[in-house]
Structure 1
Amino acid sequence: MSQLFTAPHRHFFQAAQNGFYRYLTRRLDDDVVFMNWCYETDPPMGIALDPNDEADRYPIQLYHATATQSDLTGKRVLEVGCGRGGGASYLTRTLNPASYTGLDLNASGIEFCRRRHQVPGLDFVVGNAEDLPFPDESFDAVINIESSHCYPHFDRFLSEVARVLTPGGVFLYADTRPQSHCERWDSDLNASALSVSAQRDITGEVIRGMELNSERWEAAADSLVPRFARRVARRGVPATGSKIWENAQNGLMPYRMYLMVKPA
């Protein structure tokens, strides 16, 4: 496996990202329950949403598209990296799992989720993606949306996913990487105990959703910083004209979706 970037640099970058997410958890208001990028097809997905969910249509659609690669009805579902819990709440309310557990390393984020999302069958746990606090074969499905790029040892995370899945269980996964890191990404995925059942590049759909959701993300960025710093803050959110948007447009940050299966 080629070393495309050194471990100290990777760990510093990921620690900075984790610190930034903790900062967002403290500063964002209770109405912000999604932190992931967005998704829209052409023609539009047009999924039916509760009126209370409509404002979050485009981040919800990324969750919906990833999770519905498999039927979750009656399944025990774990989401690793649940953030502010919006995806966990939506999927629990709409896809009828037997149970849904959202896990995140950020204790203040989990505290927020427990307070904000009161949904039957949904619970939240503090835990490390590389050392999941669950027995072997505890879940029928594991979901991971735009979180794994923050993990220092992605291969350990994949091993933990395989451990907690039942035989035949599914890993429903979507994330992005810098183009220069994709060789390592592919190598870790191919070396895991999970087999790739479906894979596709969804960068185009993510860009389309990002553009349609720009106003909401720009408003969130504006709320975090003083007026003089807002132009800089907007460069760091998934919105039209931001650095994230430019990198996706230029092919420097491909975004992929996977359905992976643990052998029966």
Structure 2
Amino acid sequence: MARTVLWKLNAKIHKPMYAYIARRADDDVLFMNWAYEEDPPMALPLDPADEPHRYPIQLYHATATQNGDLAGKRILEVGCGHGGGAAYLTRTLKPAAYIGLDLNAAGIKFCRRRHQLPALEFVEGNAEDLPFPAESFDAVINVESSHFYPHFDRFLSEVTRVLRPGGAFLYTDVRQWFHCEQWEADLKGSGMHIVSGREINTEVLRGIELNTSQWEAVWDRLAPGFLRPVGQAPTKGARIYRDLQTGKQSYRMYCLVKS
């Protein structure tokens, strides 16, 4: 019980922290997720402008391509953050439409200014009450965001509602070890079929190691002194890095499909 209270308190602290960072962010702060690298390396071909963000991009790419091609499809990303993943996937995977949704008004303002692409749109909204009709999307993407949602089961219900039959929920996130059993139970009870699911701690740790200098530069620039005790960047040696190493946290990637 105490662990759950601490986890919820941590989420409440991080929400205003991310809003604060979004208001201060320069145009190069496009990703807030951790990182990902395989062995052998993924070696995604990237434009020079994308190369500094290689390891967060690879987490997006691996998540979004779990169920095949997204070309010509209608995509919703819930929890789009600073929109770097949405812009990358729109440019490279060629969906017919890509909508990025986030509760953070400052983040959506940033996204609308920074990412202007013909098929890409950003909407302020609640993950637990999606402002879209039923069966509106061919795929829903969610990257490292759902652990902040107060009612994960409501979010899954909304994902199921807005997906078309045969649509895919392409998902990756992290949980403390003591939440993993309930996490799995919620996914299995979502009304969607789990096509694949795996722990990716090793790949995320490898990505963090390779991306540490990038995150340190961003964190030093954006995080004032009062945020340092409560927030931390995903860097080698940080607590979140150590927790992945020891198994105190489990980072997983899933593909679910609506019948």
Task: State the 4+ residue runs in structure 1 displaced beyond 6 angstroms.
Answer: none
The match for 1:260 is 256
How has the CA–CA distance of structure 1 residues 234 and 133 changed in structure 2, closer, same or farther, with 3 Å as cutoff? closer
How has the CA–CA distance of structure 1 residues 201 and 121 changed in structure 2, closer, same or farther, with 3 Å as cutoff? same
The match for 1:52 is 49
Distance 1:11 1:42 in 2: 34
Which of 210, 233, 237 in structure 2 is aligned with 1:237? 233
Which of 9, 13, 18 in structure 2 is aligned with 1:16? 13
The match for 1:43 is 40
Distance 1:138 1:12 in 2: 34
| Larger mean Cα displacement after TM superposition, 240-249 or 17-26 | 17-26
Which of 73, 78, 102 in structure 2 is aligned with 1:104? 102
Contact 1:225 1:233 survives alignment (8 Å): no
How has the CA–CA distance of structure 1 residues 17 and 235 changed in structure 2, closer, same or farther, with 3 Å as cutoff? closer
Q: How many residues align?
A: 258
Counterpart code for 1:26 = R
Please state how far the C-alpha of 1:176 moved relative to its aligned partner.
Answer: 0.3
Which of 158, 161, 176 in structure 2 is aligned with 1:160? 158
How has the CA–CA distance of structure 1 residues 234 and 52 changed in structure 2, closer, same or farther, with 3 Å as cutoff? farther
Counterpart code for 2:253 = M
Contact 1:177 1:255 survives alignment (8 Å): yes
Please state how far the C-alpha of 1:73 moved relative to its aligned partner.
Answer: 1.0
Alignment of 1:204-219 (within 5 A): 204-219=202-217
Q: Are 1:149 and 2:170 matched, yes or no?
A: no
Counterpart code for 2:115 = H
Contact 1:217 1:239 survives alignment (8 Å): yes
Please state how far the C-alpha of 1:190 moved relative to its aligned partner.
Answer: 1.1
Q: Are 1:66 and 2:76 matched, yes or no?
A: no
Please state how far the C-alpha of 1:4 moved relative to its aligned partner.
Answer: 8.4
What root-mean-square deviation, in Å, do the aligned CA atoms of Structure 1 and Structure 2 show? 2.0
Structure-2-length-normalised TM-score: 0.95
Q: Percent identity?
A: 61
Counterpart code for 1:32 = V
Residue segments in structure 2 that go unaligned for 5+ positions in a row: none
Contact 1:25 1:84 survives alignment (8 Å): yes
Contact 1:130 1:153 survives alignment (8 Å): yes
Please state how far the C-alpha of 1:225 moved relative to its aligned partner.
Answer: 4.2
Provide the secondary structure at the position in 2 that maps to 1:125: strand
Distance 1:259 1:121 in 2: 24
Structure-1-length-normalised TM-score: 0.93
Distance 1:118 1:58 in 2: 23
Distance 2:2 2:194 in 1: 23
Distance 2:37 2:186 in 1: 28
Residue segments in structure 1 that go unaligned for 5+ positions in a row: none
